[in-house]
Structure 1
């Protein structure tokens, strides 16, 4: 149900838009006065004199070269300038005319020389505006009437205003882009400053533990003053929340809802376009461009302006579509953010191109069919508009998500076709707008070249005859998970958040590529390569074919050849926070695994310099327990095994798993199976244990931490109760011993093994977040990372926004809790 406030806001926006559209017809009231170029005086003479015919010009539709070769016309032009123009206007104007004629290989004499050759006795004054439809061909010099010259001069001044206005639009858009990049970079610097400013020289919690004193509460910690307050307000009201309501990952119909900071720039971009499209049209009677027809004048100006604006947007549109976007490198924004901007620029480009084409079709409605058949720029322009329109229509979310491979191929083909067609569409413009086309080609070509270089550098050995560099393993057919271990051709150092596009060059569709997040990695001790590990949950298309190929092998293992392109993505600095809360839904666990891997596989020297994390809680919400058991047994096994070196690395690691199946009997059986998987992750020399809570039967999205009734806990096996509960962590070691008398301080001081807790039901995000915030002591900080279903991430986003505030309001500062969202959308 859309909130009433949202509906009223949208209604108001639509009303304003509908109100602005009719104002285009009244746009002559909105003028920007600019100083006209001095050459406009002579140009005004040229345009007014060109309205009539001359005996020494035989062409039916004279061109510039014809006028330059006409003695009568040139003498009349020189006389008009001498009569109505100042000395500086004559000098600059005649220089302009000489250069134009020189470009047509016609050499003009100086204005004074031409004036000296005129027989003034035969000169007659002519009002070319009144005689433009006459068939009279003048064979002697004429003096342009003052009114005709004034209209020609005014027409050229209006042209100059339009040119300045149109190019000012380009500057405005690119300045907006620069501002967005600058704010994005400053946002990163601001965040770094606040976190460093809040970090004490000596942790207050550590000092308390060493002295044996009590732990200070979070509420008693003082903020960092003005900077901290400003940062909190910025995060709560601007950077974190969705534009309206709380949906961001979830679509609103067919549209993606941006965050407020994204919405600000989208609004600014659209506002700039609306203002420049609807303002500064000077319409007047006797305009030489459209004589006596003010409607045609407005149509021509609007059509021309929107075409120019469309060309200014083209390089930006293609830059935001590329994978190798320097904007993302500078700002740290995600590909999803760039993709949102790309879609809005695309909508504006298609709208501008569509209006441009429709207006020209209306203006030339009497002969547009003839133009379409016999004029290349008309034909190519129409087909370019058709391609661009289909691109937008076929890019709607339902079609894009249902058949992405088809969408991608069609999108690329139509984009290239429209670009080629636009190049031929502007051939009659004498190269004036070709730089925009070639800039767009350069942006696209550079992105493709970098992508090819990435593939060649990372996996050049895969091109050899024996270049099978990938091992595909399916450990459990029921879970359906495929593990790909791809060895690179050079040594690289991956980072959490990195994702790579995978190609299968020997398949029937070698061009297809899909993004996968790297789960973990191993570097060859010899320093020649790195092995990247990926988790693949086969869906349809390529991944389904991978699954079938692996299952054909009895051992469910296959050696294949794959190409890598990357890395892309960005890394969230969760290691800078003392406590980390990772919330994953379903396959969203793949985004959390590399962060866990980095935190638990660091060198001891790196521990004190870069990693301050002391406690990690992984909350995993699953409904496919076979999938969960497979990941738990393989990827998470070493972290919940007390005999593993990583479990004793000094970072306390908790796993809270929520199984969301509704059937009680089925859920109990699956939980028991999963418990044995967790228990079996211990070494064979000890009896492992896991804490199991059953709280089934609730689907409420917001509520208590563990939704449902009647918690049951088990120690080792489902029939042996334990003292563990969901609301309070109890020190349960994996060798089966319970230490109920340990205080939180004692627990934090020892390198305790990690714990596994499994619950049926679904956690409420606000209660889950509050429970972790309440465990913060002193000036500890909490990083919250979420990846999974759109509803879950939106719930967590709103919970973080709600928890921001002053300590008096039972809130936390923006530097204390930071929200990171792992969201990848097409």
Structure 2
């Protein structure tokens, strides 16, 4: 584990390797022992020392094996146990006592040491104390690294217990709504790291930059987990150092201090590598145990990577300083472990720098492929750096995590049917897979589009439940057109009549974890844009569950409710999700749609609308606020009217006659029962949630899926409601917005 398997063998080696006291016929800076491992006098001196100080056959055997490993791994000189015995026997016949050697050394004719020498006890004792101190320090550093792993194990254990509580003991969890519980959920578990005022955009360039950083920070529980982790790293790096002087290994106190600190940081860094591969894997078993999303583990992966990268840089800087002090910096480039350590450092630095939000968003495909390539070379660099030092078990574990994840990926592709064909109709696609698994609420798959320019890429897409199920193996996906592969797919589809085409694909899935919100009396879903695809599957599943509970007589109609807010910029998404909207309308769901950038208006009044826009805006907002106050005073959830923004979006006025699909016209004119469409405005989610959750009676779950800003508002609104409502349990859940 610590690179030195025998303290006796290492002590004898370091005494004999002192070129000042024992000037064997080799360069003084023979860092990889290429010359010394080929010198019988040098080896004989070490083996005689081992024989003198060893008390058992086992210690002799361990020491011999250590010397064999050093010469094999560093000098590429292969010795067998029998070879060393022959060297020892030859050295025994040519041995010179240390005092006699000193007389020769002081003579004028002395040039190089060409015979084995018996090492005096006092030199061995100094070396043994130095090696023992170094070994103890390395064991301590390894334990600290294991402590960091245990910390994340404890965090995941808490997540698992919490998840098991939601699934296995919901009644007990619902009863935990005391003042302490509500305070912790309001201030610790639910909100963002900073308040909404801190998150809002600033007007200055510097303010906008700060705001962009703040808005990308993790949630408060995630941030606290990361902060405690960083504090533990700093603490473990700073304590429990014991230095030994005189020191046969490092010579001076300053060198010993440099190496001890560098080793501590480097060892702790290498122990964290398994976390990087475990948390980055799609098939991370902890996702199912904790109920956390892949995004949550990816956030932890990013921050642990940053911490490890800083540790690697400090480790490298201190070792470079040490080698400069010794004057052997250039010589060290001849060491395999030194060269590959630099490869690993460069790969980690490039990986961190290229994963910045601006580069990742602008060149996502390049980032993704290059990031994986850098990870491979980083692991190779760590392998060749540590193979002569130890701690390989952490690299074995990392490789095992990586291999497991990719084997499961391949298995999921094969189980799904291998190469399939996706039927595209605009941005909606249908795939008939093997039927060996069925999609569930919150599930998603990774798709490989088998085209010459993109077959190596895979991207996650949410599965939605078909409004009309033609067969049990049907997958339906709505694609959100962005840059990269989805843009190329969109451009490809445009070339075909009626936007219909078949494309060969491979399906890797399913992924995703369901949410345990069936035990709540009420559910509030908030979706932004294509986030409706995720919310739809949850809402449909929950509505059926509620209906079944009512039919069994477990609840009455008034004890259950489902409210859905969908904010989308244009009616284009409505056209794609038309069947799903009509399916939701058939169920007892309070469905509110906000089309923020379009407003339905007749051609006759279009000119007047533009001329009187300011006056009409004031009158409209005044009427809405007045009606809302009047209705909400009665605390009636069914008559609740959401807040709307006082500032209208950049709207596009459309005429009813310009919409060819009459089903869409029926929806936006509020002629579809159960669906309320608001055009030209967006809701104040934060205020609406706080107010609505106050009105309803019974426990409530808030489920959000949309852009970051929408999710932040949903978190803030839920957090406020938690503290204000002592008579009911309110919890917040967030789903990841995929492609």
User: Which residue in 2 is equivalent to 1:343?
Assistant: 302
Output the CA distance in 2 between the equivalents of 1:316 and 1:184: 16
Superposed, 1:592-611 pairs within 5 Å as: 592-600=535-543
Q: 2:323 aligns with which of 364, 374, 379?
A: 364
The aligned residue for residue 776 of structure 1 is 696
Report SS of the residue matched to 1:555.
helix
What per-residue deviation string (whole Å, max 9, x for no partner) do you get for residues 658-693 of structure 1? 3434xxxx63529999xxxxxxxxxxxxxxxxxxxx
CA contact (8 A) 1:575 1:599 kept: yes
1:388-425 deviation per Cα after TM superposition (whole angstroms, max 9, x unaligned): 11110010111112221121112112212222233334
Residue in structure 2 matched with residue 235 of structure 1 by the alignment: 185
Match status 1:614 vs 2:560: yes
Conservation of the 8 A alpha-carbon contact between 1:125 and 1:143: no
Aligned to 1:258: 218
Shift of 1:551: 2.9
Q: 1:519 aligns with which of 444, 455, 464?
A: 464
User: Within 2, Cα distance between the matches of 1:796 and 1:776?
Assistant: 17
Contact 2:706/2:737, CA 8 A, preserved across alignment? no
Partner of 2:726: 812
CA deviation after TM superposition for structure 1 residue 142, in Å: 4.5
1:531–1:99 CA distance, 2 compared to 1 (3 A): closer
Q: TM-score, normalised by structure 2?
A: 0.77
2:623 aligns to what SS in structure 1? coil
Cα distance change on mapping 1:149 and 1:524 into 2, 3 Å: same
CA contact (8 A) 1:127 1:145 kept: no
Q: How much does 1:264 deviate?
A: 2.9
Q: Which residue of 1 aligns with 2:721?
A: 803
1:546 lines up with 2:489 in the alignment:
yes
Tell me, yes or no, if the aligned pair for 1:583 and 1:785 is still in contact at 8 Å.
Answer: yes
2:127 matches 1:152: yes
Q: Which residue of 2 aligns with 1:788?
A: 706
Q: Offset of 1:758 from its aligned partner?
A: 2.4
Task: Name the residue aligned to 2:681.
Answer: 761
What corresponds to 1:402 in structure 2? 362
Q: 1:139 offset after TM fit, Å?
A: 5.6
Aligned partner of residue 617 in structure 1, secondary structure: strand
Q: Equivalent residue for 2:141? A: 166
Within a 5 Å distance, the mapping from 1:22-421 to structure 2 comes to 40=7, 44=11, 47-48=14-15, 50-51=17-18, 63=36, 74-75=47-48, 78-79=51-52, 81=53, 93-94=59-60, 96-100=62-66, 104-106=79-81, 124=99, 137=113, 142=118, 144=120, 146=122, 148-192=123-167, 195-197=170-172, 224=175, 228-246=178-196, 253-254=212-213, 256-291=216-251, 293-365=252-324, 366-369=327-330, 371-372=332-333, 374-421=334-381
| Count of residue correspondences | 658
Q: 1:352 to 1:766 in 2, by over 3 A?
A: closer
Q: Determine the C-alpha separation between the residues in 1 that align with 2:218 and 2:616.
A: 35
- Tell me how far 1:317 sits from its aligned partner: 0.7
The alignment partner of 1:508 has SS state of coil
Quote the offset at 1:759 in angstroms: 5.5
| Residue among 583, 591, 605 paired with 1:655 | 591
Cα gap change, 1:143 to 1:459, in 2 (>3 Å): closer
Q: What is the SS of the residue equivalent to 2:518? A: helix
Over 3 Å counting, the alpha-carbon distance change for 1:608 and 1:799 in structure 2 is: same
Please say if residues 336 and 825 of structure 1, whose CA atoms lie closer than 8 Å, have aligned partners that are also in contact. no
Structure-2 change in CA distance of 1:116 and 1:567 (3 Å): closer
Closer/same/farther in 2, CA of residues 696 and 300 from structure 1, 3 Å limit: farther
TM superposition shift of 1:310: 2.5
TM-superposed CA distance for 1:324, in Å, is 0.7
Partner of residue 455, structure 2: 510
1:696–1:709 Cα contact (<8 Å) kept = no
Q: State yes or no: 1:577 paired with 2:490.
A: no
Judging changes above 3 Å, is the alpha-carbon distance between structure 1 residues 377 and 341 closer, same or farther for their aligned structure 2 residues? same
The answer (yes or no) to whether the contact 1:249–1:257 under 8 Å persists in 2 is no
Unmatched runs of 5 consecutive residues or more in structure 1:
1-36, 83-88, 200-223, 463-467, 475-481, 641-645, 674-693, 699-705, 715-722, 733-751
Contact 2:467 2:579 in 1 (8 A): no
User: How far 1:41 moved relative to its partner?
Assistant: 6.6
Instruction: Please say if residues 599 and 611 of structure 1, whose CA atoms lie closer than 8 Å, have aligned partners that are also in contact.
Output: no
Alpha-carbon distance in 1 for matches of 2:554, 2:481: 35
CA contact (8 A) 1:38 1:92 kept: no
Q: Deviations over 1:284-342 (max 9, x none)?
A: 44211121x22222222333333322321222111111111111111111111101110
Quick one: distance in 1 between partners of 2:602 and 2:568?
12
Q: Helix, strand or coil: the match of 1:438?
A: helix
Q: 1:708 aligns with which of 606, 613, 621?
A: 621
Are 1:483 and 2:428 matched, yes or no?
yes
Conserved in 2, the CA contact under 8 Å of 1:266 and 1:341?
yes
- Relative distance call for 1:363 and 1:619 in structure 2 (3 A) is same
Which residue is 1:669 aligned to?
Answer: 601
Structure 1 residue 615: Cα displacement: 1.8
Contact 1:695 1:708 in 2 (8 A): no
User: What's the CA shift for 1:458?
Assistant: 1.0
Contact residue 133 and residue 244 of structure 2 kept, 8 A:
no
Separation (CA, whole Å) in 1 of partners of 2:8 and 2:223: 46
Alpha-carbon distance in 2 for matches of 1:533, 1:671: 37
Q: For each residue in 1:179-221, what CA deviation from the matched residue of structure 2 results, as whole angstroms up to 9, or x when unmatched?
A: 122101111234457741377xxxxxxxxxxxxxxxxxxxxxx
- Tell me the secondary structure at the aligned position of residue 290 of structure 1: coil
Q: Assess if the C-alpha contact under 8 Å between 2:522 and 2:561 holds in 1.
A: yes
Tell me: CA distance 1:239–1:58, structure 2 relative to 1, closer, same or farther (3 Å). Answer: same
